[in-house]
A and B are shown apart, each in its own frame.
Chain A
Amino acid sequence: MKIALVGNPNSGKTTLFNALTGSRQKVGNFPGVTVERISGQIDISGQRHTLVDLPGTYSLHPTSEDERIVASILLNPEDQDFPDLVVYVLDYKSLEQQLLMLSQIIDLGLPIVLAITMSDEVAKEGYKVNLELIQKKIKCPVILVSGRQKMNLEALKDLIRENLESPKKTPPFYRLQQQEEFILEAVANQHKNNQLTTYGQLLCIEHSEWLPFLSDTQKEHYQKAIQETEFNPIRSQVHETMARFEQLSPLAEQVVKKKQGYRSWTDKIDNIVSHPWVGPAIFIVVMLLVFQAIYAWASYPMDFIEFIFAEMGSYIRQILPAEAWYTQLLTDGILAGLSGVLVFIPQIAILFFLLGLLEEVGYMSRAVYLFDRFMSRFGLNGRSVVAMVSGGACAIPAIMSTRTIANRKERLLTILVTPFIACSARIPVYTVLVGFVVARDVHWGPFNAQGLVFMGLYVFGIVAALASALLLRPIVGGQTSGFLMIELPNYRSPNWKSIGLEVRSKVGSFVKEAGKIIFAISIVLWVIASYGPADDMENARSLALQTAQEQQLDEQATANLIASNELEASYAGHLGKFIEPAIQPLGFDWKIGISLLTSFAAREVFVGTMATIYSIGDAEDEFRVRDKMAADINPTTGQPTYNLATSLSLLIFFALAMQCMSTLAVVKKETGSWKWPIFQFIFMTGAAYILSWITYQLFQ
Chain B
Amino acid sequence: MVHNLTEVHPGQKAKLVGFGDPAVGLKLLSMGLKPGFDIVVRRKTFTGDTYYISSAGKNIAVRKKEAKAIEIEY
Contact = CB atoms under 8 A, between A and B. Distances in A.
B50 A373 contact: yes
A464 B29 CA distance: 39
B16 to A, nearest CB: 12
Interface string A292-335: 00000000000000000000000000000000000000000000
Most buried by B among A100, A241, A258, A274: A274
A137 interface: no
Given A235-B22, A372-B61, A483-B27, A97 B43 contact: no
Interface in B50-74: 50, 52, 56-63, 65-66
A84 B46 CA distance: 50
A485 B42 contact: no
B58 A487 contact: yes
Nearest to A101: B30
A323 B45 CA distance: 66
Given A245-B34, A370-B45, A270 B52 contact: yes
B61 A484 contact: yes
B26 A63 contact: yes
Contacts of A63: 23, 26-27
A96 B22 CA distance: 21
A474 interface: no
A245 B25 CA distance: 14
Interface string A366-394: 00111011001000001000000000000
A58 interface: yes
Given A483-B63, A487-B58, A487-B59, A97 B30 contact: yes
A58 B62 contact: no
A630 B51 CA distance: 55
A129 to B, nearest CB: 15
B43 A488 contact: no
A277 interface: yes
A485 B26 contact: no
B44 A276 contact: yes
Interface in A173-201: none
B8 interface: no
A241 B29 CA distance: 7
B45 A369 contact: yes
Interface residues of A, number: 47
Contacts of A609: none
A242 B35 contact: yes
A234 B22 contact: yes
A490 B59 CA distance: 8
Contacts of A280: 46
A96 B32 contact: yes
B46 A277 contact: yes
Contacts, number: 116
A427 interface: no
Given A270-B52, A485-B66, A238 B58 contact: no
A373 B62 CA distance: 10
Contacts of B25: 238
Contacts of A591: none
Interface string B28-50: 11111011000000111111011
Interface residues of B, number: 33
Contacts of A483: 24, 27, 63, 66
Contact of A97 (B27, B31, B61, B65): B31
B29 to A, nearest CB: 5
Contacts of A100: 30
Interface string A97-108: 100110000000
Nearest to A58: B30
A539 interface: no
Contacts of B28: 485
Nearest to A31: B31
Contacts of A368: 61
A546 interface: no
A452 interface: no
A105 to B, nearest CB: 13
A237 interface: yes
A487 B19 CA distance: 18
A372 B50 contact: yes
A238 B43 contact: no
Given A382-B50, A485-B31, A234 B44 contact: no
Contacts of A481: 65
Contacts of B42: 267, 270
B23 A234 contact: yes
A63 B21 CA distance: 13
Given A238-B19, A241-B30, A373 B47 contact: yes
Contacts of B59: 266, 270, 487-490
Contact of B32 (A97, A266, A275, A382): A97
Nearest to B19: A238
Contacts of B19: 238
Contact of A94 (B50, B57, B63, B66): B57
Nearest to A236: B22
Given A270-B52, A372-B50, A59 B61 contact: no
Contact of A488 (B27, B29, B61): B61
Given A234-B23, A484-B50, A484-B66, A61 B30 contact: yes
A365 interface: yes
Interface in A260-283: 263, 266-267, 270-271, 274-277, 279-280
Contacts of B49: 372-373
Contacts of B29: 59, 238, 241-242, 245
A365 B58 CA distance: 14
Contacts of A258: 57
Nearest to A94: B32
A274 B47 contact: no
A275 B43 contact: yes
A486 interface: yes
Contacts of A373: 45, 47, 49-50, 63
Given A61-B26, A369-B52, A487 B45 contact: no
B63 A372 contact: yes
A274 B31 contact: no
Interface of A: 58-59, 61, 63, 93-94, 96-97, 100-101, 234-235, 237-238, 241-242, 245, 249, 258, 263, 266-267, 270-271, 274-277, 279-280, 365, 368-370, 372-373, 376, 382, 481, 483-490
Interface of B: 19, 22-32, 34-35, 42-47, 49-50, 52, 56-63, 65-66
22 contacts: A59-B26, A61-B30, A93-B57, A94-B57, A96-B32, A97-B32, A97-B56, A97-B58, A100-B30, A234-B22, A234-B26, A238-B19, A238-B25, A274-B43, A276-B46, A370-B50, A372-B50, A372-B63, A481-B65, A484-B50, A485-B31, A490-B59
